[in-house]
Amino acid sequence: MPILPILRLGHPALRAQARPVDPAQIPTPPFQQLIDDMVETMRDARGVGLAAPQVGVPLQVFVYSPPLQGEKAEDAEREVRVLVNPMLNPQSGELVYDWEGCLSIPDLRGLVPRHPAIRVLGLDRTGRHLDFVATGFEARIIQHEFDHLNGVIFLDRMRDLRSLAFSAEWDRYMTGEGEDLDSTAVG
């Protein structure tokens, strides 16, 4: 499975709206290969999510693999989930600020407000309907990747750009020098 090039901020594909996937396309070998290639690319980049527009494919599909509590992003054998044509409905609760990075904006992090819980509707990699509630870090990953399907990046969600930092400086000044940190980029 080839590692796909991840587009970086400035590429017009990252600001374009992705097209819905025809459900009849999901079981086809080319679409399944795209999913496999995206999973391999996400793992190679040490990310926890990757949307098709980030690899230049304007389709509403993303892969993600939330780490378990205390697990690092480089633990590549985590369960990978696939969402095709997702729709999100925020659940009640105030927005929660937390740090995010992005594979398309390497080495930058910022504080981003997200809903703490979301209802997710869509299709899985076999075309089966999904309907579940995601919370915590999983909800954050899904919202981040969903934004990519709509041409939105995490910088657009930041309310105060003063929290924007390069990862090395973030490690040194925001969390304390020498701590064992997970350098996960969402996607």
| Residue of 173, 9, 184 whose CA lies nearest to 98 | 184
- Find the farthest-apart pair of alpha carbons in the chain and give their distance in angstroms, rounded: 51
Is residue 82 one of the residues assigned to a domain? Answer: yes
The alpha carbon of 135 is separated from its chain's Cα centroid by a whole number of angstroms, namely 15
* pLDDT, mean of residues 121-147: 97
Question: Model confidence at 140, in pLDDT bands (50, 70, 90)?
Answer: very high
Whole-model pTM over 0.85: yes
E runs forming strands in 21-127: 49-51, 61-64, 81-90, 96-102, 105-114, 117-123
The pLDDT value recorded for residue 179 is: 44
In a domain, 4, yes or no: no
Q: How far is CA 61 from CA 79, 84, 175, in A?
A: 17, 4, 33
116 part of a folded domain? yes
Residue 183 located in a structural domain: no
> Domain with 161 in it: what CATH number?
3.90.45.10
Structural domain span for residue 108 = 12-174
- Write the pLDDT tens digit of every residue in 62-118: 999 988 766 555 554 679 999 999 999 999 889 999 999 999 999 999 999 999 999
What are the tokens at 39? 């999973």
Q: Is residue 168 part of a domain?
A: yes
Residue 179: inside a domain, yes or no? no
What is the amino acid identity at position 96?
A: V
Is residue 185 a part of any domain in this protein?
no
Q: Which two tokens stand for residue 46?
A: 């040490």
DSSP bridge partners of 102? 105
Residue 3 lies in a domain: no
Active site residues per annotation: 145
State how many domains the chain has.
1
